[in-house]
Amino acid sequence: MRIEYDREADALYIHLRQAPVEDNIDIEDGVTVDVDAEKHIVGIEILDASTRLSPEELSQVSVENLIPAPVPESSR
């Protein structure tokens, strides 16, 4: 996962995984979710990020409970 902020565009993009983007889904004005061909989320774009998030929120990223639970065989 990677989080990028483009000051010139004032856009925040959260890359969740590497996959070709097939479609975009507008969640609300200025917030778009990119999805792959199977409609799995690839990333999230937030426009006008500096007005939606404070400078503290833009500069601090917290990672918690990063180790995922094992996926049962029947769910694969």
What is the CB-side half-sphere exposure of residue 38 using CA atoms within 13 A?
Answer: 2
6-10 LR contacts (CB < 8 Å, sep 24+): 9/47, 10/47, 10/48, 10/49, 10/50, 10/51
pLDDT score for 67: 75
pLDDT digits (tens, 9 = 90+) for 11-59: 999 999 999 999 999 999 999 999 999 999 999 999 999 999 888 887 8
Task: Name the band, by pLDDT with cuts 50, 70 and 90, for residue 76.
Answer: low
pLDDT score for 10: 94
